[in-house]
Amino acid sequence: MTEIDARLRENVHLLGQLLGDTLRTQLGEAFFDKIERLRLGAKQSRQGSSEGAEQLSATLDGLESEELLPVVRAFSHFLNLANIAEQYHQVHRRQPGEAQPFELLALPALLEKLLASGQPAELLWQQVSALDIELVLTAHPTEIARRTLIQKYDAIAEQLAQQDHSDLSAAERERIHQRLGILVAEAWFTDEIRQTRPTPLDEAKWGFAVIENSLWQALPNVLRQADRALQAATGQGLPLAAAPIRFASWMGGDRDGNPNVTATVTREVLLLARWMAADLFLRDIDELASALSMQQANAALLARVGDCAEPYRALLKQLRERLRVTRSWAEQALQTDIQPPPEVFQDNQSLREPLQLCYQSLHDCGMGMIADGALLDCLRRVSSFGLFLLRMDIRQDSARHSAAMDEITAYLQLGSYAQWDEPTRSEFLLRELDNPRPLLPVHFQGSAETMEVLATCKVVAEAPPASLGSYVISMAAAPSDVLLVQLLLKEAGMQRPIRVVPLFETLADLENAGPAIDRLLGLPGYRQRLEGPQEVMIGYSDSAKDAGTTAAAWAQYRAQEALVAVCRQHGVELLLFHGRGGTVGRGGGPAHAAILSQPPGSVAGRFRTTEQGEMIRFKFGLPAIAEQNLNLYLAAVLEATLLPPPAPQTAWREAMGRLAADGVAAYRAVVREDPQFVAYFRQATPEQELALLPLGSRPAKRREGGVESLRAIPWIFAWTQMRLMLPAWLGWETALDNAIRRGEMALLKDMREQWPFFRTRIDMLEMVMAKADATIAQLYDERLVADELRPLGEKLRGFLSQSSAAVLAVTGQSQLLSHSPQTLESISVRNTYLDPLHLLQVELLARSRSKPANASGTLERAMLVSVAGIAAGLRNTG
C-alpha cells in the first residue's frame, strides 16, 4: 500500500509525540503505557491479529472509571492533531521540482484549454469578468470544536509552516518545537466541549471570524492570481470592480425551525456585520495612509483635497474618520435604536469612490506598481465584502407564512387562507400586491408567531439593500408561497425588490419544481416584480432523508433540467442555489466534481451554494487552504459554463430512472415501512445523546415525532458515529443489484465513464463505503440493541456489504479506493485511533443508558468527547 507522504508522516508523528509528552507529564508513564497498548492493539487488530484484538479488549476492560475520560480525550486530541497536519500538508512549502497543487493550476490550465479549443480570448475575458459565485456560510451544528481550540489549531498549523524551511538553524528548529509543545499542551488542558449552547449571535461571530482570520486575506490573493492568469491568456486583466466571488450568510437569518432566531437577532447580526466591516476596512485604511506618502497626484485628486503636501493621506484620513463614525454608530445601535449621523457609510460606492480616486491618480502619475499593491487588494475587498461584510439571507418555513396569513384573513373576515385552494390564494395575493392601500391596519395584533413573522419582514424592509441576499422559503411547493412573502414584505413597507426564493426539498416538490416555476413566471405582474434572475433553491438534505440518495440525486438533476427549460422558455435568467451539506447524505463531496456534474445549462456563469458546518473550517479556516478552494470554484464554474457536460443519452436517463425507482422503494421499505426501524435507530446510534451536545443554536428536531421529525443533520450525524453511514447509501444496493441482474453492467460502466453526474455519484458512494465499517456497527448492536431488533441490524449490514460489492463491480476494482491509495492509507491510519474511541463510546452509551439517573457528569462528558473525537476522525460528519 502506498504510504502517506514522508513529511506529512513526520508532522503527524511529531504532534503525536508532543501530545504523548503532555500525557506523561500530567497523567504519568503508566497511564501513557495504557494509551500505547490501546493504540498498538487497535493497529494490530486492523491488520488481522487476534492477539492485537485481545490486547485492545483487555486493556479497555481494565480501565478504571476515572480513566475513561482522559483516554477518550487522548485519542480525540490525536485525531484533531492529525487533521491539522493533513490540512497543512495541502499547502506545505513545495520543494524545487515538486509539482504545484492542482487547485492553484486549475484556472490557468483551463484558460489554456479553452483557448486551444477555439474560444475567443475576448469571450473568455468577458466570462471571467462576469462570473458570479456566492458561497453562503451557514450555522448548521456540525462544527464540534470550540472557537478557542480552533485558534490553537490554527497556531499549530502556523508553526508547522514555520518549520517547513530546510535552512533553519538547530536553535530555530528547537524554538519551533518548543512552541508546538506549548500549543499542544494548551489544547490538551482546554475543555473541548462547550458548556453552553451557542446563541445565533455567537454563531454569527464565528462566521465573522472566518472572514477576519482567513478570507479577508485569501480572497484578494485569489483574485490577484486570477488577474495574472487572465492577463496571460487574454491580454486583459480582471476589471477593477469585478467580484467573481462573494459571500453570504444564514447566520442570524435562518429561522426555519429555530425559535432562537428572532427579528431582534437578525437586526443585531446585521449591525455586527457593519461594525466588523468598518473595523476591517479601518485596518486597511490605516496601512494605506501609512504607505501612501507620495506628493504627486492627478488633478482630480488635488481638486478633492486641495493644495496639500500629502494628498493621498489627506483623502484617506477623511475616509478613516467616516469609518470610525460608522463603527461607533453600529456599536451604539446594538444597544439602542439610534439614527445614523450623516457621516455613516450607507452604500459601497461611497467607500469605493475615494479609493478608486487614489488608484487612478497613482496610475496617472506613473506609480501603478504602488497602486496595484495593498490599495488594489482593498478595492477588491470593497467589491466582494463591502460595507456589510457578507449578505444575509432570510429563511423561513412556508407553513409559518401561511399560518400568519390565515390569521390575517380571519381577522379581516375574509375567510380562511389555509383552506383556500392554490388558484384562490394566488388571485387574492396578486390582487393585494397590486393594491396601493395596505392590507393590515396599523393596530393589528396577532399571535406571537404571526407578529414575529411580521417583525422579521419589517427588519428586512428597513435594512440597506446591499446587506441582504435572498429571502428563502423552506418547503415551498406552489407559486402562492412566493407571492405571499412578497405581500408580507410589501405590508412591512418594502420599497424595493428582493429575491424571494422557493426551496424545493422533498422528492414530490423537486418533481414539481419546473411546473411550479412555470406557473409563477406566467402570473400577471410577477415578472415586473422580479429583480434580476429567478432564483430557485434545490434541497439536498431533506430530499435525501425523504427518498434516499439514489432517487434524490436524480430528482435534483431533473429538477434543474426542468427549471433551465422553463426559464429559457420565459426568457428569464435562472440562478440555482444548491443547499449542499458536508456529507454525501446531504449532497456533499468535492465541489469541483459536483459543479462539473451539473446538468448542461444549469451553471451559466452563476453559482450559489451553501457551505455548511465543520466544512467551513476545513475549506476556509486557513488562508492558503481557502485560496485553493476558491480557485477550484472559479475554475469549475467557468468550465461548467463554457464546456458543459453533454446531455445524458436516452438509455442513461432510462437506466437512471430505473435506479431511482428501485432505490426509493428499497430506502422507504426500511426507513418508513419497517416497524422496528425507529426503535433500532435510537438504540444502535447515539441519536438521543446528540441532543445533549451544545453544538448549534437550533433544536435537533423540528417537532416531536419519529425519524421524519429529525433534522437532516442529526439524522446523518448519528449513523456516522457508529460507522454504518446508512443515509448515504441505503437504496443503492438494491438499485445497482437489480440493474446488474437485468444485464445492464455494460450500460452502468458506460454511464460511469462518460456521464459526469453518474461518475460523481459512484465516486462519492465509494468514499462512503470506504469509511463505513460493518464490524464497528456490529459492536454497537451487540452492546446497545435489544435482542429482538438485532436481526434488522444484521440485515442493514448485509445491505452495506451488498452496496460495496455492487460499487466494486461497477468500478471494476478489487478494493474500494484502490485508485486513491493515499486516501485509503489516511483512513487506515485514522482507524487505529478511531477503533478505541468507538469501543469506548459503546461502553459509555451502555453505562449512561443503564442508569441514566445516576450518570455522572464525567461519564456524560466522556461520551460527548467521544462524539467529538469520532467526528474529527471522519471529518465530513454532518
Q: Which long-range CB contacts under 8 A does 325-329 form with residues at least 24 apart?
A: 326/274, 326/278, 326/387, 327/275, 327/278, 327/279, 327/282
Q: In 3D, which of 813, 736, 780 has the Cα closest to residue 549?
A: 736
Query: Where do you find CATH 1.20.1440.90 in the chain?
Result: 263-388
Q: What is the 3-state secondary structure (H, E, C) of 264-288?
A: HHHHHHHHHHHHHHHHHHHHHHHHH
Q: Which of 89, 92, 140, 458 is catalytic?
A: 140
CA triple 94-97-98, angle to 5 deg:
40
3 state SS of 261: coil
Task: Give the end-to-end CA distance of the chain in Å, rounded to a whole number.
Answer: 29
Diameter of the chain by CA atoms?
A: 89
Q: What is the mean pLDDT of residues 335-341?
A: 92
pLDDT of residue 114: 96
Annotation: CATH topology of 263-388 = de novo design (two linked rop proteins) (1.20.1440)
Cα separation, 759 vs 780, whole angstroms: 33
Mean pLDDT of the chain: 91
pLDDT at 142: 44
Instruction: Give the DSSP letter of residue 215.
Output: I
Q: What is the mean pLDDT of residues 734-753?
A: 97
Comparing 209-218, 622-631, 699-708, which segment has the lowest mean pLDDT? Answer: 699-708
- The sign of the dihedral angle between the CA atoms of 692, 693, 697, 701 is negative
Closest to 81 measured CA to CA, from 185, 3, 176 = 185
Instruction: Output the nine-digit C-alpha cell for 405.
Output: 396569513
CA angle 827, 107, 874 (to 5 degrees): 15
Nearest-angstrom CA–CA distance, 442 and 293: 57
pLDDT band at 104 (very low <50, low <70, confident <90, very high): confident
Output the pLDDT for position 748.
98
C-alpha cell at 92: 506545505
pLDDT of 697 > 70? The answer is no
β strands within 348-486, DSSP E: 391-397, 468-474
Per-residue pLDDT at 692 exceeds 90:
no
State yes or no: is 140 an active-site residue. Answer: yes
Question: What's the confidence (pLDDT) of residue 586?
Answer: 39
| Dihedral sign from CA coordinates of 28, 29, 30, 31 | positive
Q: What's the pLDDT score for residue 262?
A: 96
What's residue 8's pLDDT?
A: 84
- Tell me the pLDDT tens digit for each residue of 227-258: 999 999 999 999 999 999 999 999 999 998 78
pLDDT of residue 532: 87
Helix intervals (H) in 292-395: 299-305, 311-333, 348-364, 368-370, 376-384
CA dihedral 518, 519, 524, 527 (to 10 degrees): -40
Q: How far is 298 from 293, CA to CA, in rounded Å?
A: 15
How far, in Å, CA of 819 to CA of 762, rounded?
13
- The model's confidence at residue 699, banded by pLDDT at 50, 70 and 90, is low
- The 8-class DSSP code of residue 706 comes to S
Respond yes or no: is residue 113 known to be catalytic.
no
Round to whole Å and give the CA distance between 506 and 547.
8
Side-chain-facing half-sphere of 778: CA atoms under 13 Å: 10
CA-based angle 806:772:733, to the nearest 5? 25
Question: Which pTM was predicted?
Answer: 0.92
pLDDT over 60 at 140, yes or no: no
Indicate the range of 50-59, 172-181, 225-234, 454-463 predicted with least confidence.
Answer: 50-59
Q: Model confidence at 853, in pLDDT bands (50, 70, 90)?
A: low
Q: Find out whether 218 and 620 touch, Cβ atoms under 8 Å.
A: yes
Q: Residue 779 above 90 pLDDT?
A: yes
- Alpha-carbon distance 865 to 846, whole Å? 16
* Average pLDDT for 392-402: 97
d(CA 871, CA 868): 5
What's the mean pLDDT in 531-541?
A: 90
CA neighbor of 798 nearest in space, from 809, 806, 788: 806
Q: Please tell me the predicted confidence (pLDDT) of residue 856.
A: 63
CA distance 553 to 540: 8
Q: How far apart are the C-alpha atoms of 606 and 592, rounded to whole Å? A: 15
The pLDDT assigned to 315 comes to: 97
Neighbouring C-beta atoms of residue 66, cutoff 10 Å: 8
- Which amino acid, 776? I
Whether pLDDT at 56 is above 60: yes
Residue 730 is predicted with a pLDDT of 96
Q: Which span out of 278-292, 535-549, 586-600 was modeled with the highest average pLDDT?
A: 278-292
**CA dihedral angle for residue 478, residue 483, residue 484, residue 487, rounded to 10 degrees:** 180
Please give the share of the chain, as a percent, with pLDDT higher than 70. Answer: 94
pLDDT at 865 over 60: yes
Q: What is the pLDDT of residue 707?
A: 61
Identified catalytic residue from 545, 578, 619, 838 = 545
For the stretch 567-617, pLDDT in tens is 999 999 999 999 875 443 334 457 788 899 999 999 999 999 999 867 888
Residue count of the chain: 878
Bridge partner residues of 577 (DSSP)? 537, 608
The model's pLDDT over 437-451, given as tens digits with 9 standing for 90+, comes to 999 998 999 999 999
